[in-house]
Structure 1
Amino acid sequence: MHISNLKNEFYQPLIGNKILLLVHYDVDAVCACKILQYLFRSDHISYTLVPVRGVEELKYAFLSFCKEVKYVLFVNCGGTIDLIDTLEPENSIVFFVLDAHRPTDVCNVYSPDQVKLLVPRSDDEKIPHPSEIFRDESDEDDDDDDESGDEGDRQDRRRQKAEEAMRKRREKRQWEENRNHVLFSYTQYSYYGRSSAVVMYELAWRMSKDTNDLLWLAIVGATEQMLLAKVDYQRYVLETGFLQSHVQRLSHHSDNQSNEDDVGNILTGVKITFGKDLQLALYRHWTVEASLRYSRYSATKLRLWTLRGESKVQELLAEIGLPLVQSRQKFTSMNMILRKEFPESMEKLGEKYNMDRIMTATFFLQYGYRGRFCAFDFVYGVLALLESRAKDKSLSTCFMEALDSLSRSNKHVLEDGIEKCKTILVSIFKQVQSLLEMRQVISAGPFLYLVLQEGTLDVQLYSSPLCLGLLAQFALEAYVGSSRSKKAASQPLIASAPLDPEKGTCLLLGIPPVADESSNNFFGKAFEQAGERISARMNMDYFDTSIIQLKTEDRPKFLDALTSLLL
C-alpha cells in the first residue's frame, strides 16, 4: 500500500519503538540511511542496522531480529519481491519499504496493512488493477445434486451444471491468460524510481529538521543515480531543479554561521552551490592528464585506447595552453591561473573534440577554506569504499566506512575512498583497452557480450555488480565509438566475470543500448525466460533483476538461449 503522508503514516508510529533497518549496498541507500540516522537520533529512536546485498541476506537478517521489533524499514531493497510470502512475518509486524528499484511487486502494492510503500503512487509505473491480477476463488460450484423429480429432469439439471462448470473453467483460463499477459507487461522492464535519499530529505524538510548536511546527502544520492545510468539525464535535470530550490532556501540560513556536524562537532559554515562542472572523474583530486585518460566520457570520445587518441590528448592540452609538466601534477598544485581557466577552456574546445557535453549540471560543497568537493567526487569516493574489499575486511565493515565518510568530521575517510577509486578507474580503462584490442566484445546478433576469464588482471574486482556495471558501461560506449557497424549503438551489452571459482559460479549483468534514451532494462525478464528454457543453474538473488549468478559451465548454453529468445 502506498502512503502519501510520510510524517503521520510512517515516522510518527516509529517514535518509542525499536526499528530493524535493512539497507542495500549502494550509494543512494547509504545516503538515505545517514539521513534516517540523523532523524532517529533527534527523536531518540533505537534501531538495529543491517546491510544486505540480496534476498537471502535479507531473509537471514529478518529471521535474526524479527522477534525484537515491530517495525522493519527496507532501504533500496524489498520492494521488488513479495515480502509477506518471502518472509512470512507475524501479523503484528509492519514493513515500511523505501526502494528505488522498479517495478514494485504487486502484492506489496495491494497489501492492505502490513506493507507500506514510502513513495506516492506514480502513473509512470502502470500498476495493474487488482481485478486483473487477483481473483476471488470462494465461489465454487455447488456439488449438491438435487435428486427430486423424474429421470429426465435430473439429466437436464446435470447437463446444465456441466455446461456451467465448463463455462467457468473457460472464463478462468481466459482470466489467467490475461493475468499472465498483464503481469508480463508490468514486469517486462526493470528501472529505477526517485532517489531514496531525496525522499528522506523531503521528509526531514516537512518535519522542519532539514539542514545543509542532509540536503547534501540527498544531492549525492540523486547524483549517483545519474552517474551510474540508473535514470536518464532528463530525470536528473528535473531532480536538480527540486534540489536547487532547497539550496537557495537554506543558503540564507547558513551564511556566516557555524554549524554542528552529525556527531556534534563545531565546524565552519557549510555552503552548497549549484553550477556546471566537467565530466572528468576526480580531476580536482588527480592530475588533469590522468583524469582525461581514465574518465569514461573523455576516454570514449577521444578513443584514448588508440595511438591517435593519445595524440589527440596532447593536441588538446597544447591548444588549452596547459604544459605537460602542469597536466601531470596534482590539480591543486597547478598554476593558479591555469587552474581557474581549465574548465572554461575545456568547454570552449569541447565541440571541436567531439565532447559537446563535457560540462554538466551538478552541485558543490564548500566548508572551511580547502574543503571543496563536487557531488561526483562524493559518489566516486563512497562507491570505492563500498567496494574496498580485502581479506581482513568484511562487507559490513566496508558499508560502515562508506557511512562514516559522509560525516564532515571524517573527511579523511572520504579522501581515502577517492584514492581507492582512482585505482578502480585505472583498472577499468586498462580492462576496456584490452577487451577492444583482443576483440573480446562480441556481437551475438541481438546483443553484445564480453566475458572476463579467470586469471585476468584484477578480475576479482569485477565480482561485484557495481564495478562490473561500470566496466560494462565503459566497454559499451567504447565499442560503439570505435565500431563501424551502424547497429552497434542500438545493441545492449551483457558482461560476465567470475564470482566464486571454487563453486564454479559467475556474475552476469545486462545494460541497455547507448542509443536508448530510456534507462529501462529488459534483461531481467529475458534472463528468467532463458534460464527456464535450458534449466540453467542460476540464482536471481539480487534486487536488480538484470543481475544474476550463474554456473560458469552453463554460460555458453545460456547465451545461446538468450540469443534465440531475443532474435
Structure 2
Amino acid sequence: MLVHEIVNQFYSDILKKARERGLIIVTAIDVDALCATTILKTLLTIDQIPFSVYPVANRHEFEVYYNEKFENEESAIILCINHSADFDVLSTVMNDTVEFWIIDSHRPININNAYNAKQVKIVCKHKDVGEIPTYQEVFETESDEEKDSNDELDEGLEEDNDDENDYDNSAKAGEKRKGSNMGEKASKRSRMESHLEKNIRKKEWRAKRDQILMDYDEFSFFGTSVALLICELAIKLSKESNEILWLALIGLNSQYLESKIDRDSYMEGIAYLKGHVGRLNRECEETEPNLSISFSNELILPLLRHWNVYDSMYNSSTVAAAFCLYNHDGRNKLNGFLADLGLPVSQCQKSFVAMDLNAKENFENEFRVQLNRYQLEESDLFLPSFLASFKMHGKFSVLDFYYLINGSLYRDLKVNSEETDETLAHSFYAANNARNLLDFLTLKSTNLIKEAVPQGIELHSIIMETVRSFISKALVCGTSSFLYVSLPQDDKHIVLFQLPVTISCLARYTLEIYVRGLPSRNKRFRQLPLILRVPCLNSGDYYCGIPPYDDTSCKNVIHSAFDQASKVIGFEPLNKLFDRNMVLIRSEDRSKFLDTLATLLA
C-alpha cells in the first residue's frame, strides 16, 4: 500500500502503534540511509518513542535478523529505511501479523508491496511512483458467477461419468432416456466449449500480464532521498534544525555523487532546502549556534579543505579522466595545469589550511579561468552545495561529510577484516552506536572528526589507486555487449571491496576514467555498460553492473539482465543485495553467467 501523507498517515500512525507494540528500525548501510535514520532517531527521541536500530547490509542479513530477533515479536512495527520497496518483503517472513513500514528510494516498487494494504505500507511521493500497473492487470480476479459456472461444469462432467456407467449397466433404461440425454449432452458440450474459451482468454491474459510486469520491472532507478523525505517530515512537524537540514543535504548529495539521480533532481532538492537553510540561519545569526550553514558553489574535489591541492586533484575521478592520470603524460598535464594556476609545487603539496592566504583565496577563480583551456566543463567540477561552520572547528562542505561517513564505515570494515562478510553489518552497528552519528555531525567530540578525516582520505585514495591499476595494466576488456574488469584475487585491498558502497564507487570511477581516455576510434565503448567482478572473501564473486557512460537517464537495465541470466542458468544468487545491479554468485557459474549476459545485452 502506498502512503503519500507523511504526517497524518505515517508519523501519527507510527507514534500511536509504537507506544503499544514497539518500533524496530532496520536500516541499510549507506550514507543516505544512515542520515535518514539519524533524523528519525531525533524526532522519535523528542516524542519519547522507544525504538531499536539494526543496520543490515543485504537481504540475507535482513532475513537473519528477522529470524533471530523479530520472529517472536509478532505485533512489532518494523520500519525499513532505504530497502525492501523493490522486492516482496513478505517473502522473507512467515507471519501475517507483523506490520512493515518502508521508506525507500529504490524503484520500481514491487507490485505485491504496492497492493498489500494489510501488512506493507510504503511512504513515498506521487512523482516517485511512476506508472504502476492496475490491480486488474496483474492479479487474477474471478467473480462468484464464474466460480459457480465452473463448479456446475465440474459437477456436470461427474454426472456424465455416472450416466455412462448407468448406461452400461442397463441398456434398456438407456434407450428410454436417450432422447433426454442427447439434449443434456448438447447443453454440457456448450458449457464445456465456453469453459475452454475462458481458459484460452485466461492464458492470453496471463501472457499479457507477464509482459506488463516485464516492462514495468525493466529499469531500476531511484526516487527522492530518504534523508530528504524524513527532513520534510521534520519541517512539517516544525521540529527542523540546522543539524537535521545538514543530514538531509548529505543524503541528497550522496545520491548525486553515486549517480542515483540526475543534476535536475539534485537541484530541485537543493532549491527546496535552500529556503529553509536561509530561514533558520537568519534566525540564529545573533545566538552563535554550534552549527551554521551557508550556500556555496563547491569544487568537486574530494576532501580538499582537509588534504592538499595536488592529492585532492590527483584523486578526483573527473580530473583523472580529463588528464588521463593513469600514465606519466597525464601526471605531467596535471603539473602543467597547477603551474597555470600560479601554484608552485611547495604550495600544492601543503595542507590546504596551511597554504598562503592569497593562493588559497585565488584558487577557485584561477581554476575557473583555466577550465576552457583544458577542455573542462564548469558543471563537471563545480556543484551548488553548502558549507557548515562548526564553532571552534572550522568549515566542512557537504561533499566532505560524504567521504567522512564512508571513511568511518571503512574503518570498521578494516578492523573486522578477518570476520566473515555476514558479521560486517553487526560490527558496523556497534561502532555506529558507540560514536553516535549525530554527535559526529555536530562535532561534540573532536576525536570523531580526527579519526574520520584520515580514514576518508585513505579509502578514497585506495579506490582511485585501484582504478589507475585497472587501466594502466589493461585489465578493462571491451566486448560487443559490455566492458568487463575483474579485481585480482590477490589484491592487497580486497577486504575493502566487500560492501556495495565501495564496489559501486570502484565500478563508476573505472567506467568514467576509462571511456573518457579512449581515442576517438573507440568511442563506441561509451555506449556500453561496465560489469565489475570482485571476489568474495567467503565464496563466490560479486558482480556490479553500471549503465553506459553516455546514458544520463540514471536508469539501469543491468538488474533485468542479471535476473534473466540467473533464470537461464538455473541458479539462485548466494546473497541478494539491496542494490539490484549487484549480485553474488558461485565461482563455478562465472563462465555461464558472463556468456549469458553477453547474449542478453547484445
User: What TM-score comes out, normalization by structure 1 length?
Assistant: 0.94
Matched, 1:118 2:123: yes
Unaligned 5+ segments in structure 2 are 161-176, 417-423
Q: CA deviation at 1:123?
A: 6.7
Matched, 1:494 2:504: no
The answer as to whether partners of 2:219 and 2:560 remain within 8 angstroms in 1 is: yes
Matched, 1:390 2:414: yes
Q: Secondary structure at the match of 1:7?
A: helix
In 1: Cα distance, 2:453 partner to 2:305 partner: 11
In 2: Cα distance, 1:237 partner to 1:478 partner: 25
Aligned to 1:129: 134
Q: What pairs up with 1:151-300 in 2 under 5 angstroms?
A: 151-259=181-289, 268=290, 270-300=291-321
Matched, 1:26 2:30: yes
Q: 1:373 aligns with which of 388, 391, 396?
A: 396
In 2: Cα distance, 1:14 partner to 1:534 partner: 43
Q: Secondary structure at the match of 1:244?
A: helix
Unaligned 5+ segments in structure 1 are 260-267
The answer as to whether partners of 2:132 and 2:216 remain within 8 angstroms in 1 is: yes
More deviation, 507-516/475-484: 475-484
Q: CA deviation at 1:95?
A: 1.4
In 1: Cα distance, 2:436 partner to 2:510 partner: 27
Q: CA deviation at 1:144?
A: 2.3
Q: 1:42 aligns with which of 46, 55, 62?
A: 46
Q: CA deviation at 1:66?
A: 4.6
Matched, 1:88 2:94: yes
Q: What pairs up with 1:63-74 in 2 under 5 angstroms?
A: 63=67, 64-68=69-73, 69-74=75-80
Q: What pairs up with 1:9-24 in 2 under 5 angstroms?
A: 9-15=9-15, 16-17=19-20, 18-24=22-28
Aligned to 2:352: 331
Aligned to 1:305: 326
Q: CA deviation at 1:506?
A: 1.2
In 1: Cα distance, 2:319 partner to 2:436 partner: 27
The answer as to whether partners of 1:452 and 1:496 remain within 8 angstroms in 2 is: yes
Q: What pairs up with 1:347-426 in 2 under 5 angstroms?
A: 347-357=368-378, 358-388=381-411, 389-392=413-416, 394-400=427-433, 401=435, 403=437, 405-426=440-461
Q: Secondary structure at the match of 2:568?
A: helix
Look up the equivalent residue of 2:107 and give its one-letter code.
R
User: CA-to-partner distance for each residue in 1:137-191, whole Å, 9 max, x for gaps?
Assistant: 4643122227797122122122112211211111111111111111111111111
More helix by share: 2
In 2: Cα distance, 1:482 partner to 1:162 partner: 68
In 2: Cα distance, 1:507 partner to 1:406 partner: 32
The answer as to whether partners of 2:410 and 2:455 remain within 8 angstroms in 1 is: no
Q: What pairs up with 1:446-457 in 2 under 5 angstroms?
A: 446-457=481-492
The answer as to whether partners of 2:410 and 2:459 remain within 8 angstroms in 1 is: no
In 1: Cα distance, 2:7 partner to 2:303 partner: 38
In 1: Cα distance, 2:105 partner to 2:574 partner: 22
The answer as to whether partners of 1:74 and 1:96 remain within 8 angstroms in 2 is: yes
Q: Secondary structure at the match of 1:409?
A: coil
In 2: Cα distance, 1:319 partner to 1:551 partner: 51
Q: Secondary structure at the match of 2:52?
A: strand
In 1: Cα distance, 2:493 partner to 2:63 partner: 32
The answer as to whether partners of 2:57 and 2:499 remain within 8 angstroms in 1 is: no
Q: CA deviation at 1:258?
A: 4.5
In 1: Cα distance, 2:7 partner to 2:548 partner: 40
User: CA-to-partner distance for each residue in 1:244-289, whole Å, 9 max, x for gaps?
Assistant: 1211221222212144xxxxxxxx3x22111211111111100100
Look up the equivalent residue of 2:136 and give its one-letter code.
S
Aligned to 1:263: none
Q: How many residues align?
A: 555
The answer as to whether partners of 1:460 and 1:498 remain within 8 angstroms in 2 is: no
The answer as to whether partners of 2:324 and 2:513 remain within 8 angstroms in 1 is: yes
The answer as to whether partners of 1:3 and 1:117 remain within 8 angstroms in 2 is: yes
Matched, 1:101 2:125: no
The answer as to whether partners of 2:243 and 2:441 remain within 8 angstroms in 1 is: no
The answer as to whether partners of 1:275 and 1:363 remain within 8 angstroms in 2 is: yes
Q: CA deviation at 1:118?
A: 1.2
The answer as to whether partners of 1:385 and 1:402 remain within 8 angstroms in 2 is: no
User: CA-to-partner distance for each residue in 1:324-353, whole Å, 9 max, x for gaps?
Assistant: 001101000111111111111111211212
Q: CA deviation at 1:67?
A: 3.6
User: CA-to-partner distance for each residue in 1:293-320, whole Å, 9 max, x for gaps?
Assistant: 0111111111111222111111111111
Q: CA deviation at 1:196?
A: 0.4
Q: Secondary structure at the match of 1:273?
A: strand
Aligned to 2:167: none
In 2: Cα distance, 1:177 partner to 1:191 partner: 26
The answer as to whether partners of 2:318 and 2:513 remain within 8 angstroms in 1 is: no
Decide whether aligned partners of structure 1 residues 417 and 123 sit closer, same or farther in structure 2, where only a CA change above 3 A counts: closer
The answer as to whether partners of 2:109 and 2:129 remain within 8 angstroms in 1 is: no
Q: Secondary structure at the match of 1:486?
A: helix
Look up the equivalent residue of 1:80 and give its one-letter code.
D
Q: Secondary structure at the match of 1:329?
A: coil
Look up the equivalent residue of 2:127 and give its one-letter code.
S
Q: Secondary structure at the match of 1:11?
A: helix
